[in-house]
Chain A
Amino acid sequence: MNNFIIAIILIVVAVIFTAVNSFYICSLCDEITALAESGKYGEAIALWEKKRDYISFFIRDAEIDVVNSEADSLAKSYSLEDGEAEMAKMSFSEAISEIKHSEKLTLGNIFYIDTAVKKVYY
């Protein structure tokens, strides 16, 4: 009986923990994207760097590395021309969106191929 109660508690905790974290990561990604799209690159990068370690508990290193490199490009884009800066902003937002998308509980994520693989095929 004790094991049964512990198992129920563990399942409830695991489900709540994952749901809350997914929700939080999605809202963080929205926040970072909004900052980047409103032209506040510095704040977007700072927020990403502040939360990167926390996010890496839940997201594969490969996806984190992609955002890191896009954040570097965005940081350097102050000195770039307008077109290149726009590209860096878009790439950064896309990389953040990938993380957000991978955390969403959608049928596509459950049954279809990995988003990284999707990028290669489509």
Chain B
Amino acid sequence: MTVIVTRAFIFYVFLTLMMKLMGKRQIGEMQLSELVTTVLLSELAVLPVTDTDIPLLHGLVPLILISSIEVILSFASRKSKRFLIFLNGNPITLYENGKFNEGNLTKARVSSEDVEAQVRINGFETLGEVKKVILERTGKMSVLPKKNANPNQSGEG
């Protein structure tokens, strides 16, 4: 059991680091630690259910461990901004005042076409109507319009 608990912890840390390396595009709606927890929990829950050779505790104890780590990390992120930035990174500006930030595009592994697509999804016809595009911690892009620009609602969806 101690081996399984240690392995669960190692997998949690390793998966978090790998997800961090892959960048925000993989995350979608969740924070990084939430995604890692979801991935690990779903797998851990399935194994002892389907394989009766595995003792129930081999699934339950790592579940408790990983859920608890997630709660502790969330708490630590809320209390310490530095820890939040370490774990989930900072929002990144991809486009500002008519120019793409190439360094940030490379860092986030996002192409200018992806940004343009996101601008259109948000109801703008061209990048000229947009002041800023920011890649948020969750992996979603926020599109901030210029003062006089209005998103075309019919174009949404």
**Given known A4-B71, A8-B68, A14-B65, contact A62–B53 (CB-CB < 8 A):** yes
B3 x A7 contact (CB < 8 A) = no
Nearest B residue to A61 via CB reads B53
Which B residues touch A106, using CB under 8 A? 3
Q: Whole-angstrom distance from the CB of A113 to the nearest CB of chain B?
A: 12
Interface residues of B: mostly helix, strand, loop or mixed?
helix
Which A residues touch B144, using CB under 8 A? none
Q: Is A34 an interface residue (CB 8 A)?
A: no
Q: Is B154 an interface residue (CB 8 A)?
A: no
Which A residues touch B17, using CB under 8 A? none
A18 x B1 contact (CB < 8 A) = yes
B55 x A60 contact (CB < 8 A) = yes
Q: Is B61 an interface residue (CB 8 A)?
A: yes
A7 x B67 contact (CB < 8 A) = yes
B72 x A8 contact (CB < 8 A) = yes
**Given known A14-B61, A58-B55, contact A103–B1 (CB-CB < 8 A):** yes
A17 x B2 contact (CB < 8 A) = no
Which B residues touch A102, using CB under 8 A? 3
Q: Is B75 an interface residue (CB 8 A)?
A: yes
Which B residues touch A104, using CB under 8 A? 2-3
Q: Is B5 an interface residue (CB 8 A)?
A: yes
Contact with B along A54-73 (1 / 0, CB 8 A): 00111111100000000000
**Given known A56-B55, A60-B53, contact A21–B1 (CB-CB < 8 A):** yes
Number of CB contacts from chain A to chain B under 8 A: 74
Interface residues of A: mostly helix, strand, loop or mixed?
helix
Question: Which of B53, B57, B64, B68 lies in contact with A58, CB distance below 8 A?
Answer: B57
A103 x B55 contact (CB < 8 A) = no
Bound form: Cα–Cα A18–B60 in Å? 12
Which B residues touch A22, using CB under 8 A? 1-2
Given contacts A11-B68, A17-B61, A18-B4, 12 further A-B contacts (CB under 8 A): A3-B75, A6-B68, A6-B71, A7-B68, A8-B68, A11-B72, A15-B5, A60-B53, A104-B2, A105-B3, A110-B3, A110-B10
The contact sample of 29 A-B pairs, CB cut-off 8 A, is A1-B75, A3-B75, A4-B75, A6-B71, A7-B67, A7-B69, A7-B71, A10-B64, A10-B65, A10-B68, A11-B69, A11-B72, A14-B61, A14-B64, A15-B65, A18-B2, A18-B4, A57-B55, A57-B56, A58-B55, A60-B54, A61-B52, A61-B55, A62-B53, A102-B3, A103-B2, A103-B3, A104-B2, A110-B6
Interface residues of A (CB under 8 A from B): 1, 3-4, 6-8, 10-11, 14-15, 17-19, 21-22, 56-62, 102-106, 109-110
